[in-house]
Structure 1
Amino acid sequence: MTTLIIGGGWSGLAAAVRLLEQGEPVHLVESAKQLGGRARNVVWNEQTIDNGQHLLIGAYQRTLKLLQDLGADESTLFQRLPLNLTIHHPHFNDLKLADTPLLPWPLSLAIKTWQLNGFTLFIQISRLIFKARPQKKSDDISVQAWLKQQKQSPRLIEQLWEPLCLATLNTPISEASANLFANVLLETFQQRDYADFLIPKVPLGDILPAYAERYIQAQGGQISLHTRIKSLLIEDNKITAAMTDKGQTIEADNIIIATGPHTSQQLLGNYWLGEETSSYPIVTVYLQCSADIKLISPIIGLSGTTSQWVFDRGDGLLAVVISGPGTHLKLTNDQLIVHIFDELLDTNIVQSPEFIRGYVIREKRATFKSCVNISSHRPATACTVKGLYLAGDIISNPYPATLEGAVINGEKAAELIMKINTVS
């Protein structure tokens, strides 16, 4: 029974790998010229960069397990660093979260937070993390309302929780789901290695896309790039085939739609059971400076500025990430590059380096909006049409739009297919 997978992002790749492991024939189609979806390679100035800077954390267990099963060596692909985060603000002292291996977790995090930030901030941070579990099970409210309810100070909201919410949910705290944010906190701080940063050493396309592509081809799976699916063929409430925009019919016993929410809704039409979802952008500004420029740490947080997170990519290349909506979207690329570079100079993150060139990547539909009650509106994996399954990060799971959520949903679709095949 052949399974057609529409979408070659991390979710579709995860589904393909897990199906092929069980001997299920797979045909994966992708409209772009390469695999990876919104986490793919881009060539700029004769070097390979990412279509938006990504950061994985140790809590991404399903993603790490998938890579391990594909023969990937974590130490080759990622720089794993213990939690050590500094967030700058123009009007406040630096806020720091760090761990020490000298004490058991989470006592080590608590003691270090106290030492670095003082007792008042320590109490507030501890209170919110402690209250995350009951909030996860409560009626959903906005992150902003939850923070005020838990008596978080204006400084802590602006300097810590707002940038963390934007980084993980890509949604402003006034709209973001407190239940989803609470679950992110619980997962991240569940154990010491879950809070580790995994900073890619290689371009994203050389991680899961490259390993999965080799595996799919080695197992006899088929990959078709530059292939856009225009419509689905459904007869007697059973999926039978998909039609490309060039008029080609691809027959299949099962189809997994592993595309972004916008494309999935277009393909499914009335069969889309979730509410119509909206999206928010993510902008990444690459700044190529002189090769001797090096930040004090691989990742630095900024608050109270347009810039939110700065990554040191080595050899003078900096990647500045701006999540969610904002006035920066109205600036031209040249204006934004100058603005971001000036902010880094003003905050002393860089010291008057030789600026060579800049590049802006705008992912207009980077993620779905993780708004209040979003969890109740996310569709399930199994569709009402027999043989039709949904993947991609929008499908119901405990995470916002993350690579981990995409992998989880891809594997879930594969598991359902194999379960039904086993029964039949």
Structure 2
Amino acid sequence: MTTIIVGGGWSGLAAAVRLLERGESVHLIESAKQLGGRARNVSWNEQTIDNGQHLLIGAYQQTLKLLQDIGAEESELFQRLPLNVSIRHPYFADLTLTDTRYLPWPLSLIIKTWQLNGFPVFVQLSRLMFKARLQKKLDDIPVLTWLKKEKQSERLIKQLWEPLCLATMNTPVSEASTHLFANVLLDTFKKREYADFLIPKVPLGDSLPAYAERYIQQKGGEISLQKRIKSILIEENKAMGVVTADDMHLKADNIIVATGSHTTQRLMGKYWSSPQPRFYPIITVYLQYTPDTKLSRPLLGLSGTLGQWVFDRGNGLLAIVISGPGKHLESTNDELIDRLHDEFCQADLVITSALIDGYVIREKRATFSSYVDVSSDRPHTQSSVNGLYLAGDIIHNLYPATLEGAVINGEKAAELIMTINTVR
């Protein structure tokens, strides 16, 4: 039986791999000239960068398992670092989250939090983590409402929870879902290794997309790039195939739509029964400094400034992430570059004369908004049409829009197809 997968992002790739390893026939179709979706390679100044700076963590168990299964060595693709992040703010002392390997988890994190940040911060963090599991069982509320209810200080809200919420959910704390945020916190800190940072050593397009492409071809799967799907053929409530933009009809027994939610909604047409998705942007700014420019650690958090998270990509290249809505969206690219450079100079991270060049990447619809009760609005893997399945990060799971969520949903669609085929 043949499955057509529309979309070559991480979700579509995950579905293709899992189907092929079970002997299914797969044709993956991607409209872009390369695989990877929103985690793909971009060329700039004779170097390859990501279209948006991503960070994987040790809790991404299905993504890491998938990479292992297709022959990728984690150590070749990522630098795994124990939890050790410092977040700066113009008016507060640096806030540091780390642990020591000399004590069992989570005692090591608790002790270090107390030592580095003081007893009040330790009490507030402990209280929130203790209440997270309980909060998941109550009605969903905005993260900010939950933080205030649990007596989080203004400092912790502004310096920790706001940047962390934007980083994980791309949604402001005033409207973000506490249920999803609590899931992120609980899973991240469940085990010591889950809290590890996996800093990419290579552009992300050279990780899962490259390895999955080779695996698909080795297993006899078909990949079509730069081919856009115009519509899905449905007869008597059964998916029969797809029609390409050049009016080519491709037949299939099953179809997985693993595209961005706006494209999925267009292809589904009247069969899309969920509310209109809401989106928020992410801006990634690359600042190229002289090669001797180096941060004190690979990842630095910022709060109270335009920049939110700064990654040291080596050789003087810094990648700065600006998530969510805000007035910064009205700024020109040059204005963003100048403002970030000024912030770094004021924070003594760089010297004024070291800046060589800058580059701005804007993803206007980077992720869906993880608003309160969004889980009830997210569509499920099995659509109302027989043989038509949905993947991509917006499809229902316990997490916001992440690479892990995309992989989970791709594998879920593949598993559902194989389960139904077995029953038949």
Please tell me the TM-score bracket, short chain as reference. over 0.9
Which letter maps to 1:342? D
Q: Is contact 1:285–1:321 with CA below 8 Å preserved after alignment?
A: yes
Which letter maps to 1:339? R
Report 1:179-194 matches (<5 A).
Answer: 179-194=179-194
Report how far residue 243 of structure 1 moved. 0.7
- The answer to whether 1:234 aligns with 2:234 is yes
Residue matched to 1:275: 275
Report how far residue 250 of structure 1 moved. 1.1
Residue 353 and residue 108 in structure 1: after superposition, are their counterparts in 2 closer, same or farther (change >3 A)? Answer: farther
Query: Matched residues in 2 for 1:326 and 1:125: separation?
Result: 27
SS at match of 2:352: coil
Report 1:17-166 matches (<5 A).
Answer: 17-166=17-166
Query: Matched residues in 2 for 1:353 and 1:95: separation?
Result: 29
Which letter maps to 2:135? Q
- The answer to whether 1:9 aligns with 2:15 is no
CA deviation vs aligned residue, 1:162-221 (integer Å, no higher than 9, x gap): 000000000000110011001100000001000000000000000000000000001110
CA deviation vs aligned residue, 1:99-154 (integer Å, no higher than 9, x gap): 10010000000000000000001100111111110111210000000000000001
**Structure 1 runs of 4+ with >2 Å offset:** none
Report how far residue 268 of structure 1 moved. 0.5
Q: Is contact 1:16–1:28 with CA below 8 Å preserved after alignment?
A: yes
Query: Matched residues in 1 for 2:301 and 2:248: separation?
Result: 48
Residue matched to 2:168: 168
Report how far residue 293 of structure 1 moved. 0.6
SS at match of 1:314: coil
Query: Matched residues in 2 for 1:224 and 1:127: separation?
Result: 51
Query: Matched residues in 1 for 2:60 and 2:273: separation?
Result: 28
Residue matched to 2:400: 400
Which letter maps to 2:225? L
Report 1:304-319 matches (<5 A).
Answer: 304-319=304-319
CA deviation vs aligned residue, 1:59-98 (integer Å, no higher than 9, x gap): 0000000000011100110000000010000000000100
Report how far residue 275 of structure 1 moved. 1.3
SS at match of 1:113: helix
Which letter maps to 1:341? H
Query: Matched residues in 1 for 2:371 and 2:270: separation?
Result: 23
Query: Matched residues in 1 for 2:171 and 2:60: separation?
Result: 21
Which letter maps to 1:258? A
- The answer to whether 1:323 aligns with 2:323 is yes
SS at match of 2:146: helix
Query: Matched residues in 2 for 1:134 and 1:379: separation?
Result: 26
Total equivalences in the alignment: 424
Q: Which moved more, 1:347-356 or 1:329-338?
A: 347-356
Which letter maps to 1:289? Y
Say what the alpha-carbon RMSD is for the aligned residues. Answer: 0.6
Query: Matched residues in 1 for 2:114 and 2:273: separation?
Result: 47
Report how far residue 273 of structure 1 moved. 2.3
Residue 353 and residue 105 in structure 1: after superposition, are their counterparts in 2 closer, same or farther (change >3 A)? Answer: farther
> Identity percentage over the alignment?
71
Which letter maps to 1:6? V
Residue matched to 2:246: 246
Residue matched to 1:177: 177
Residue matched to 1:260: 260
Report how far residue 353 of structure 1 moved. 4.8
Q: TM-score, normalised by structure 2?
A: 0.99
Query: Matched residues in 2 for 1:361 and 1:146: separation?
Result: 33
Report how far residue 239 of structure 1 moved. 0.4
Q: Is contact 1:345–1:351 with CA below 8 Å preserved after alignment?
A: yes
Query: Matched residues in 1 for 2:16 and 2:187: separation?
Result: 26
Q: Is contact 1:265–1:272 with CA below 8 Å preserved after alignment?
A: yes
Q: TM-score, normalised by structure 1?
A: 0.99
